[in-house]
Amino acid sequence: MSTLAINAGSSSLKFGLFKDDTFERVLTGDIDWAGGNRQQAQLTVRPRDGIIVRSRLSVPDDATAAGCAIQAVVGATPAAGNGTMTITAVGHRVVHGGVEFRASVLIDEKVKGRIARLCSLAPLHNPPALRGIEAAEAALPAIPQVAVFDTAFYTRLPPKTSFYPVPYDWFQQWGVRRFGFHGISHGYCACRAAELLGQELGKLRLVSCHLGGGCSATAIQGGVAVATTGGFTPLEGLMMGTRCGSIDPGILLELQRQPGLTPKELDRALNHCSGLLGVSGVSADLAQIEVAAAQGNKRARLAFDMFAEEVRSSVGALATAMGGLDALIFTDRIGEQSTALRSAVCDGLQFIGLRLDPERNLKARPDADIAMKDSSARILVIHSQEELVLAQEARRVADQSAARLPMENACV
């Protein structure tokens, strides 16, 4: 008996299969098109007891990617087809839950409709999530499907960090507020940091940096998110692979007045043509940008430097919001893999107690502490296990539904 987790992102689709009783990993995997080429996406399957398998495949759309992930799970676990290992629930990451969804919820047509209405707020994420849900429903009919929301982690953000300095009735009429994103990842990493440090989560001040295709940093005090770079939509905050991050809103007003760009054209430019890709002209993948910068590409170097500066500045601001810092966390593709980025971010943050050990940083493999021994604040590289959280939430909600128990705060 096992639970499947599907995590549809803007540049990859991750998946995992976990035993129902212990949540022991059966396998994990991902389909990655970080370079933007969906015709040559890389599929990686990592069985717990077996050989890692890598292959190339075409995933022209999100439904195809989800279908390929499900087929990869079934193919890698032959028992799933003969009844000795049965998929009993599926958990789906949904980036934007708006003001409606405050916790994970069993998916039905009404829930899908509400998620669809939020697509304009997360155009790179909610539509892929919906198509993944539909693909899973088609491949695994009658299996409970559960939506797990990134925004749920931020429901306790205080008003001073969740409200915008705009007319108050914008919040009352249209729900304009800061939601925050990558909450599943930040929440897991906070718990894992407490384990690594051997301290109670309730006593820690953490800044978690989720750096991948999408990027955000969050201040977590006592296990609760108190401030974040993420905003009303996943566009705000740090510059990302193809998204701009925070910019002067006056730019958009001027571009509509002068060149006469339409909202649709601006939407495409800000979501698909900006960020690391827009500045470097090379790629949305920081690894490729680092190579180009080392070869003398000035725009690639500029993109790297801008990104590092934004992350560094955000860490300082978020630490200030908590009155100090006990540990800085790096996670996701860039955070876990880029030695150069971690070094650049930490350079200049010694004033809040962060002292990076260059040798530990160079050799780091998650989960690891890469701070100097005498650093007053720790620097952690953590492998975010969003799929594990998705499976745990799917199992909890499915079990509650089967027992006809009410789901507290599931939807408001």
At 376-393, the pLDDT tens digits run 999 999 999 999 999 999
Handedness of CA 314, 320, 321, 324 (dihedral sign): positive
User: Into how many domains does the chain fold?
Assistant: 2
Q: Has residue 332 been placed in a domain?
A: yes
Does position 82 have pLDDT exceeding 60, yes or no? no
Q: List Cβ neighbours of 346 (8 Å cut-off, separation of 6 or more).
A: 312, 328, 354, 355, 356, 379
- Residue 265: the pLDDT is 96
Could you report the per-residue pLDDT of 296-339, keeping only the tens digit for each? 999 999 999 999 999 999 999 999 999 999 999 999 999 999 99
Could you report the per-residue pLDDT of 84-106, keeping only the tens digit for each? 468 999 999 999 999 999 999 99
What's the CATH code of the domain at 219? 3.30.420.40
Q: Are residues 219 and 331 in the same domain?
A: yes
At position 75, the amino acid (one-letter code) is G
Could you report the per-residue pLDDT of 17-74, keeping only the tens digit for each? 999 999 999 999 999 987 678 888 999 999 998 899 999 999 998 889 999 999 999 8
Helices 249-257 and 263-272: crossing angle, nearest 10°?
A: 140
Q: Are residues 132 and 197 in the same domain?
A: no
| Whether 180 contacts 234, CB under 8 Å | no
- Residue 49: the pLDDT is 85
According to DSSP, residue 120 is labeled: G
- Domain coverage including residue 347: 190-381
Q: Are residues 212 and 350 in the same domain?
A: yes
218, two tokens: 């969050």
Does position 410 have pLDDT exceeding 60, yes or no? no
Q: Which among 30, 150, 285, 332 is annotated as catalytic?
A: 150
Average pLDDT value for residue range 267-272: 95
Q: Are residues 270 and 336 in the same domain?
A: yes
Tell me, yes or no, if 369 is annotated catalytic. no
Q: Has residue 398 been placed in a domain?
A: no
Q: Are residues 57 and 148 in the same domain?
A: yes
Domain-ending residue, one of 112, 140, 155: 155
Does position 412 have pLDDT exceeding 70, yes or no? no
Please state whether beta strands 87-94 and 205-211 pair in parallel, antiparallel, or not at all (unpaired): unpaired
Does position 365 have pLDDT exceeding 70, yes or no? yes
Q: Has residue 227 been placed in a domain?
A: yes
